[in-house]
Structure 1
Amino acid sequence: MSLPQSHPAVHQHKGLSCPVSGKLHEYCPPQAGDSRSACPALNTMANHGYIARDGKNISAFDLIRGLKACYGLSTPLAVFLSVVGFIILKKVRNISLFEIGKHNAIEHDASLVHHDTPQGQEYAPIDIDQTLVGRLIADAKTGREQGEGPEAGDTRILMDATDVARARVRREKECRPIDSVHAEIARGEMGIILGVWETKTHDNVGIPVEWMRRWIGSERLPDGWKPDHVQGLLDVVKRSKAIRTAMDEMKKNEAIANGDEKAKL
């Protein structure tokens, strides 16, 4: 049976180029046989050809180069993420993206847009739950600051560390418990993207929620976007700490509201 004319061409990905998109770093979704993980950052890099589009045979150097070119990460930050990732996975040779989804290695439960790994499974599910994507975006809109949105004459609504904290608190209540190391990884993941896409609207600072929806929901970069600054390790640590502080405050306020007198101390 032939495909309709409107159907995207089915093809194979080999290397960084895509035979259909034809342009450097143009988006193309994964094809049959391509490898992907539960990590939107790395899947996006593959979908745009910053690492091998088929998601296979990727070295630590490939990740370092891709993280710098795609997101503007500093060399120390890119090296740290790549080398530590290979160490956690206990890998020396090149990897495929699906290997990054090994449960409770780098990957963790309480993902913002993925379901927890089913009991007995070695690798996390890679399917994105669009309902969870919508709830993440709602967490930003719920906490919208004055001066954001159409009422303020700006079509953008920004997601900041407090909004991310709200989403993380919600997901950690909905999902299986995660340990302190994976909780820190989860905050760091979002701390990176908050810095990469930092935008100002009037007196507010954050990232446009539609960019977040596109990235985490479709694993695709904003149209025409290119890195305009270098994102360093210390900046990620600062943003991760801001998310944790906001989470702690939310949990404390909830405990007080539920009558926990010790939470007031």
Structure 2
Amino acid sequence: MSLPASHPDIDSHQHKGKTCPVTGKGHEWCPPQDGDSRSPCPALNTLANHGYLSRDGRNISVFDLIRGLKNGYGLSTPLAIVLAFGGFILLGRFTNLSLFEIGKHGAVEHDASLVHKDTPKGEEYAPIDVQEDLLEKLLADAKTGDEDSEGLEAGDRRTLMDATDVARARVRREKESPALDALHAEIARGEMGIILGVWETKVGRKVGIPVEWMRDWLRKERLPEGWKPTHAQGLLDVVKRSKAIRLAMVDLRKAEMPTDEKARL
């Protein structure tokens, strides 16, 4: 069946506003097209790919961002406000922005990303391409086989990533990158703390995010098939999850210390 002459080319079309001319109404996923603006942040890129932000990733206001975070991920109003205004303040922006600006190094963006290379010395903006080797290492950090219904043999659908798994990945990446200051270390933990709460799932006795969801989200910047927010993710919950990641990181680093160093603590 051929498409009518008026139908946009499905391999190359322009995005204007939140409605994609190919997918039509609603919030169906469509990958970015030539000329669309994207950032190193999979959460925001995903909102644009689903039309919760302008699909071209341009001319986004702080209020657009608040609405997108609430509607796309189910974040509470206070949490969405803190994230949106906090991001604009760190970027030093008081007017609308394009998603690529989120990648300005040292503002919101930071080194030791779980799936992106560090910003090359002298560059103003961070790389936005996901590194496949880093992605697979992140997912492997969840496949430890230490808990029920988990591990390589269980498959991605049943393998869940929790705060300890995220901590394991953060410790690994922070060994490989320049040291993070306190603010950006907190941002790095908070990013994953948010998504742990948004997609929390239970399999057997373990609670976490299905690894297959993480893979699709990070690689394709797409929401899980058929998923809709089921609860409001609040600020205090994110603080709690970020703390859980931090404490797990402390324990993991202690476990790696030589015995004599542990004795001096």
Q: State yes or no: 1:214 paired with 2:216.
A: yes
Aligned-pair distance for 1:262?
4.3
Matched residue SS, 1:227: coil
Using the alignment, how far apart are the partners of 1:134 and 1:108 within structure 2?
A: 20
Go from structure 1 to structure 2 and tell me whether the alpha carbon gap of 1:101 and 1:77 turns closer, same or farther (over 3 Å shift): same
Matched residue SS, 2:143: helix
Aligned-pair distance for 1:9?
2.4
TM-score by structure 2 length? Answer: 0.93
CA contact (8 A) 2:142 2:151 kept: no
Go from structure 1 to structure 2 and tell me whether the alpha carbon gap of 1:234 and 1:10 turns closer, same or farther (over 3 Å shift): same
Matched residue SS, 2:191: helix
* Structure 2 counterpart of 1:252: 254
**How many residues are matched?**
257
Q: Deviations over 1:24-46 (max 9, x none)?
A: 11111111111000000000000
* Structure 2 counterpart of 1:70: 72
CA contact (8 A) 1:21 1:27 kept: yes
Using the alignment, how far apart are the partners of 2:54 and 2:42 within structure 1?
A: 15
Amino acid at match of 2:261: E
Amino acid at match of 2:32: P
RMSD: 1.7
- Listed as ranges, the matches of 1:106-145 within 5 Å are 106-142=108-144, 144-145=146-147
Query: Gaps spanning 5+ residues in structure 1: where?
Result: 1-6
Using the alignment, how far apart are the partners of 1:206 and 1:71 within structure 2?
A: 16
Amino acid at match of 1:233: L
Matched residue SS, 1:142: coil
Query: Gaps spanning 5+ residues in structure 2: where?
Result: 1-8
Using the alignment, how far apart are the partners of 1:91 and 1:155 within structure 2?
A: 40
Aligned-pair distance for 1:149?
5.7
* Structure 1 counterpart of 2:150: 148
Go from structure 1 to structure 2 and tell me whether the alpha carbon gap of 1:71 and 1:8 turns closer, same or farther (over 3 Å shift): same
Amino acid at match of 1:14: K
* Structure 2 counterpart of 1:204: 206
* Structure 1 counterpart of 2:5: none
CA contact (8 A) 2:37 2:99 kept: yes
Amino acid at match of 2:49: N
Go from structure 1 to structure 2 and tell me whether the alpha carbon gap of 1:149 and 1:250 turns closer, same or farther (over 3 Å shift): closer
The range that moved more, 174-183 or 28-37, is 174-183
Q: State yes or no: 1:261 paired with 2:261.
A: yes
Amino acid at match of 1:97: L
TM-score by structure 1 length? Answer: 0.93
Aligned-pair distance for 1:233?
0.1
CA contact (8 A) 1:161 1:246 kept: yes
Which segments of structure 1 move beyond 4 Å, counting only runs of 4 or more? 149-155
Go from structure 1 to structure 2 and tell me whether the alpha carbon gap of 1:86 and 1:154 turns closer, same or farther (over 3 Å shift): closer
CA contact (8 A) 1:9 1:20 kept: no
Go from structure 1 to structure 2 and tell me whether the alpha carbon gap of 1:127 and 1:56 turns closer, same or farther (over 3 Å shift): same
* Structure 2 counterpart of 1:188: 190
* Structure 2 counterpart of 1:39: 41
